[in-house]
Amino acid sequence: MSHALTLLSEDEQMLRETVARFAQDHIKPYVMEMDESAHMRPEIIRAAFKEGLMAVEVPERYKGTEMTFFSAILVIEELAKVDPSVSVLVDVQNTLVENIFMRWGTEELKQRYLTRLATDTVGSYCLSEASSGSDAFALKTRAEDKGDHWVLNGSKLWITNGAEAGIFMVFANVNPEAGYKGITCFVVERDFPGFSVGKKENKLGIRASSTVELVFDNCRVPKENVVGPVGKGYKIAIETLNEGRIGIGAQMIGLAQGALDAAVKYTAERKQFNQPIASFQGVQFQIGQMATDIEAARLLVYNAARLKDAGKPFVKEAAMAKLFSSQVAERVSSKCVELHGGVGFTKEYPAEKYYRDAKIGAIYEGTTNMQLQTIAKMILADHM
């Protein structure tokens, strides 16, 4: 067992085992079907709510399980071993959407929305646009103050959970002349007039996780649905994504572990020259390197999560965790395909899916280059 896993508390170990069983029982039988259909089975989402996986940190008074951020990271990791698509659905719910409400929502907003997010409603985080990816604050979606309500106009792209969500955390600019200082966070419900879900992307990997366009055409939003101060949405977006990157790190180490487990199982069973291929030193060297890379990535992710729970600075560590774990996921899943040989290139085995799913880790919630820039800037800040 991983050294990092042996250091888990008894409660953390129990949680990990519970989620692992959940993934085997409720998700594994449908992984390839969901990937091919690019559709998340509703019963899996319902089961995740029932199991308490959709509101890990949410206080009990809002129907959540009131556990730690680190606990949410363990949940995300275990789910990703079986299906990274389900993992990211749970990740966005916990580390982004509910995080915003818990840190910046009024008590009235928490009562109205956190309880739904904890029990039966998927949430979505809506920042990216056609002109704003890494330059997140170049967003064009506009919010106009109409006195007793707001009106939103514009569109969002690459929005995770958009097909399933009922609650959307939307970033729009109330004062474009003020630049990023006009950005504000709004809660939009799926049935608000003027709001619609547009094109669903046909993706390389994590296909069961929906990625959609959102359209706001004079979308009317109640005045009380502003989260945090008007004009402080940029602060909410930045600080939320800092935590979200640890969640992506957890997804990537789970994916990598799932790929390694599949490679170990196959190489122990596959025989060539009258012996399992795992008995060959060349194969053993590759498995040893894969396991070492995963352990190093896991330690980075766990360290960042522990720092966050302890209330200590963690931005640099989160960037490092996200950067390295996404690199490891790509390397390990690629090697998993190779160790499977010809069948690794087919859909009869899970290797090729892990490989496709891994690529997104270097892109969403901050590209590899953005993580490198963050790390370097924080290191150099004390010397320039």
Asked if 211 and 243 sit in the same domain, the reply is no
Rounded-to-10 torsion of CA 48, 51, 56, 62 = 100
Q: Would you state the pLDDT for residue 283?
A: 98
Total structural domains within the chain: 3
Asked if 163 and 290 sit in the same domain, the reply is no
Asked if 51 and 154 sit in the same domain, the reply is no
* DSSP track, 246-266: HHHHHHHHHHHHHHHHHHHHH
Rounded distance, CA 341 to CA 45, Å? 34
Asked if 290 and 357 sit in the same domain, the reply is yes
Asked if 37 and 102 sit in the same domain, the reply is yes
H or E segment and range at residue 312: none
Domain boundary among 230, 246, 266: 230
Structural domain of 144: 124-230
The amino acid present at 294, given as its one-letter code, is I
Q: Would you state the pLDDT for residue 133?
A: 86
| CATH code of the domain covering residue 216 | 2.40.110.10
Q: Would you state the pLDDT for residue 384?
A: 78
Q: Using an 8 Å Cβ cutoff, are 309 and 68 in contact?
A: yes
Asked if 305 and 328 sit in the same domain, the reply is yes
Rounded distance, CA 24 to CA 85, Å? 14
Asked if 154 and 95 sit in the same domain, the reply is no
Rounded distance, CA 324 to CA 282, Å? 25
Asked if 218 and 257 sit in the same domain, the reply is no
| CATH code of the domain covering residue 111 | 1.10.540.10
Q: Which residues contact 169 (CB under 8 A, 6 or more apart)?
A: 96, 97, 100, 123, 124, 125, 126, 185, 186, 187, 227
**Paired tokens of 78:** 């275990």
Q: Would you state the pLDDT for residue 6?
A: 80
Asked if 202 and 109 sit in the same domain, the reply is no
Rounded distance, CA 175 to CA 230, Å? 10
Asked if 298 and 326 sit in the same domain, the reply is yes
In terms of C-beta density within 10 A (0-12 exposed, 13-18 middle, 19 or more buried), how is residue 43 classed? exposed
C-beta pairs of 274-277 under 8 Å, 24+ apart in sequence: 277/339
The pairing of beta strand 195-200 with beta strand 271-272: unpaired
Domain boundary among 63, 92, 122: 122
Asked if 341 and 278 sit in the same domain, the reply is yes
Residues taking part in catalysis: 365
Rounded-to-10 torsion of CA 240, 333, 22, 295 = -70
In terms of C-beta density within 10 A (0-12 exposed, 13-18 middle, 19 or more buried), how is residue 306 classed? middle
Asked if 270 and 349 sit in the same domain, the reply is yes
The dihedral region occupied by 214, where left means phi > 0, alpha psi between -120 and 50, and beta the remainder, is beta
| CATH code of the domain covering residue 316 | 1.20.140.10
**Paired tokens of 2:** 């991983």
pTM given for the model: 0.97
Q: What is the pLDDT along the chain (384 residues), one digit of tens a residue?
A: 677 788 899 999 999 999 999 999 999 999 999 999 999 999 999 999 999 999 999 999 999 999 999 999 999 999 999 999 999 999 999 999 999 999 999 999 999 999 999 999 999 999 999 989 888 889 999 999 999 999 999 999 999 999 999 999 999 999 999 999 999 999 999 999 999 999 999 999 999 999 999 999 999 999 999 999 999 999 999 999 999 999 999 999 999 999 999 999 999 999 999 999 999 999 999 999 999 999 999 999 999 999 999 999 999 999 999 999 999 999 999 999 999 999 999 999 999 999 999 999 999 999 999 999 999 999 999 887
Q: How far does the chain reach from its first CA to its final CA, in angstroms? A: 43
Nearest residue to 213 via CA among 259, 155, 277 = 155
Domain boundary among 230, 251, 272: 230
